[in-house]
Amino acid sequence: MINGKVADFIDQLYYGQELLFLYKGKKFFIQGWFNKEGDEAVMALEEVSEAPFSGYLWEIRSKKMRECAEAFLAAPIWDGLNFRQIEKEVEWTDW
């Protein structure tokens, strides 16, 4: 991971923190939250490089935020590759 330690990034992901990162010239935003009842964790990824919001690229719901984070790390979102496979090319950034 560029500009940070991947372990720190993943730790924040487990808590549903808002995270921004670059991959292949595109900017991505991932965040997690609990529904109003507090019984379901939600995590969603969107691309924020260009056009206005048009929907999430990836989204999951689970009982635990950690399960959402693990699902994100394993999801083949980038041309069939998951986050762990691309992490060396990912740049942790901010707005």
The pLDDT score that the predictor gives to residue 53 is 79
Q: Name the 3-class secondary structure at 31.
A: strand
Domain count, the chain: 1
Residue 16 lies in a domain: yes
* Residue 1 resides in a domain: no
Residue 77 lies in a domain: yes
User: pLDDT band at residue 1, thresholds of 50, 70 and 90?
Assistant: very high
Structure confidence by residue, pLDDT tens digits, 34-78 = 999 999 999 999 999 877 777 899 999 999 999 999 999 999 999
Give domain status of residue 92, yes or no: no
User: Which domain range does residue 66 map to?
Assistant: 6-86
pLDDT in tens, 10-21: 999 999 999 999
> Per the domain annotation, does 94 fall within a domain?
no
Q: Is 80 within a domain? A: yes
Q: Tell me whether residue 62 is in a domain.
A: yes
Express as a percent the part of the chain with pLDDT over 70: 100
Q: Does any domain span residue 91?
A: no
How far is the C-alpha of 25 from the C-alpha of 29, rounded, in Å?
13
